[in-house]
Structure 1
């Protein structure tokens, strides 16, 4: 049985008015405890690199469960753009990459730095129908960082398959807040420090089995070896046979903190988390007289940043992106947060 949202909320502190999960998630109590214990053990000289193998293995398996793939299809890393760079390096010269206008640059720069690729951007709503026979890869975010808009993933996957294109999806703004089926996508990437509430430095790449031997692990190091402890020296390369060949050596403390967070989210009904957050988002927009959207991330125009400054002054943590105020509702938020936002923005508008 899934853990209730009420019990999950109790695992977090300092959540009142925190509407910035799209920028950075909050650590759960178990993460804080694990990090403190690990730091203390390290201070006492009680840790070696080999001691972290268990948390990396656990983190890989938990993430695989969360996004619906096998653990052997999951690689670990520390940065979205670096993992995306592996995908970009694989594409043949002359390939067309179809992406979204206003897409997060960790998903576009790795392709744009290659002048021998064609990068074409279209509005999110037009993404599926923009795939054609010349498209090699569709690179997009499941949920757009700047707007909170949710991609029609099923349509994109269907059209990509029809035209022989591969799909590469960033799950960073989706995993932990929206149900995700990474198994329907060829490649996905995710940094877990936002909605999954892990420390920064724990990221994932999923690679469909038929691609694992086709993509060159250009960042391969000792941690990509079949047996990592016999891959640390020499010129004889024996890479892991599965997605572990794309691993980079882990940021040890990040994984210590990530596992408790991933355990928490793996115990939840993520559909219920989405309905909760999206409901609060819709409630906020309705109260502000804005067009209602069923999204956990909602935005309103704020070209000068006045709304964001008003909320910050009132002790509400939000963010500003692309000339808009961005409000991100996670499992710990409630109607009191909506009321605080609406009252603050109404006062600010009246004071002008």
Structure 2
């Protein structure tokens, strides 16, 4: 954040040999970047994953994003050696760097009780990067859970750069004791977490909604259980989007799918002709992912938002509800808590 200072004289008084000037000081934030500006993207992947999972995911998730990427970065974590972050100017260089630093079992942790150092990697990225990280996006391929659960300072750091963290997390973690930590990090930075089988990481919906459409227009985290309905914060739709409104909902804060049955996200404005809703189900072909997506055309308006949901038990579930797009706006939407 940069601050802009402006002085405005409001009155002058002359008394004997002195001149008294009264002024107001205006302090405002000058944004270093805007949401649709090209950005640095970090691809961070666990050494516990198979090499083929990482190489396939790198190609599938990031190819074709060159128009929105200023710098690519990649790093392998969960190793007994210190991790180095590599930077690239284009996808070809990035893909070469990833394939030169694929997971190597000989470098891995020797015990499942050791927690992942994924949080430290994100912290280092924001602390030591030689490039501007305003509006940056971090994508984590997670196999091992952290042992820490306090992410207060890290969330503050990511938010100070207008950053966002997405996580693709394994349904079969290799170690660590805190499975909700990375989910909470993505929740508090307007990102998503997708729980998947390892061999399906490359097919994550995070590619289509969180990367290809990187501007978040709506972000809400809401805790639900059982069957019910809840009123969500209103949605401000600034304009009718040429590519439609791309919604994404994470239906469980763990994987694989077990208690989720269905949801219905609806929007309504009395003066709008584009009122509607988005259904998500526990269909067979979607069982490998905890994210449901849908694209819709919405008029420019403020919509009342309602969520109906159904789960098979009363376990508390934090749902992530997002709308992403590619649109030029001159403000940063607020972060969800």
TM-score by length of 1: 0.29
Structure with higher RCO (Cα < 8 A, 6+ apart): 1
| Structure with more helix by fraction | 1
Structure having the higher Rg: 2
Q: TM-score, normalised by structure 2?
A: 0.30
